[in-house]
A = this chain, B = another copy of it.
């Protein structure tokens, strides 16, 4: 069996079922590949289509002038067995099937899925899907999604799993709301052939991928998955969102991809033993991804917190233990340095409530003095700085974080932009994140991400 690289870096792609009609999946795949600036050869295939989006359209796969490295088959279910036979005859080794209606709809579909799988296995074809929305590879200028995508930002985060969301809504969300970038995306759908373990092995060796995010509804071959996950997680962080925690959830999964979800307890233990990071939802996945992608791993679990507001200190302190973090008491030399921009009468502690310091010395001086002092303390392994985006706190946040990074490039930093003006908040987020400093909407989210890094590191 060949590897998976052609799903992401093919030299040539044929789209079987290419369509001239905008809005049809067979049209969208071709237009996405063009939009992403694919530099290889692209062959639309469809009897009688003439041309598709300015490209010559071939009547049959066998008319294509080379053996394409990758075929995307946008065809109704009943035509898919024949497509696999055509691929087999043409020597194709990689096939993506977006078509739904197989194990995701019940017994009849499951039987057809078994048929195409055994045809593919005989021919040595790696099959992604069926029910796969497609793949994305930013460095390969490729998007095989059947849902319209704009070209997305390149980066070190790769995502895959049993949802089409990664190649559609989530890719759009990341590109329009976030500032990190994507390396590869793969939607596994019913995963008749290519599954989580295959993707993990592939991404483990992929130098472009620094952080992996997985969504799964349940894995087959638990022993192999456990072994592969442990191996990959020892090289790079793997964030796992697993559904099917409850009976109602498992019932919904049966009609989504037909996966068997397995025991929640066994899965939880497996993730923990593998050293992977379990996340509870997509927001938490990207909260963690941001931190892992941009910041160094902490060397210990002791976190410093600086906050404009007492409630920020309290909420951070309240959840620290839950995420395996401690809040050390600063050394007396640290306290003396913090005091340089704090009124005498307020406590200089960790977490540090600096509202009175901001009133007395201004935000720039209060944040800078207190944050640098805390970060310099040997008892502090990471620092979370909490802002409320109000006129009284306006300052150059990016400059503050750059100084902190200069002081201690080995200690992870995070900013919390807690409430305040919406427009100013997204400006601050952009300013910090385009320089590699992750931001969060609440203290809990920031501490959860730092806690995940610590558990991964330790």
Residues of A within 8 A of B (CB): 23, 25, 77, 100-101, 104-106, 109, 147-148, 162-165, 168-170, 172-173, 176-177, 215, 217, 243-249, 251-253, 255-257, 280-283, 309-311, 313-322, 326-327, 345-347, 349, 351, 353, 355-356, 359, 388-392, 418-423, 425, 441-442, 444
Contact = CB atoms under 8 A, between A and B. Distances in A.
Contacts of A444: 280-281
Contact of A173 (B162, B163, B256, B420): B420
Given A282-B419, A420-B172, A390 B148 contact: yes
B392 A148 contact: yes
6 contacts: A100-B346, A148-B392, A168-B388, A172-B390, A248-B320, A281-B442
- Give the most central of A283, A310, A315: most B CB within 10 Å: A310
A386 to B, nearest CB: 10
B164 A244 contact: no
A267 to B, nearest CB: 13
A264 B4 CA distance: 52
A338 to B, nearest CB: 13
B176 A422 contact: yes
A322 B148 CA distance: 35
B248 A327 contact: yes
Given A147-B392, A173-B425, A215-B311, 16 more contacts: A104-B310, A105-B345, A105-B347, A165-B418, A169-B389, A169-B420, A173-B420, A176-B422, A176-B423, A246-B321, A248-B317, A248-B318, A248-B326, A252-B318, A252-B351, A256-B310
Contact of A256 (B148, B252, B311, B359): B311
A110 to B, nearest CB: 13
Contact of A418 (B169, B251, B316, B321): B169
Per assembly, the copies of the chain total: 2
Given A169-B388, A310-B257, A317-B246, A101 B346 contact: yes
A309 B248 contact: no
Contacts of A249: 314-315, 317-319
Contacts of A162: 311
B282 A163 contact: no
A353 B251 CA distance: 13
Contacts of A168: 388, 390, 392, 419
A315 B243 contact: yes
A176 B168 CA distance: 28
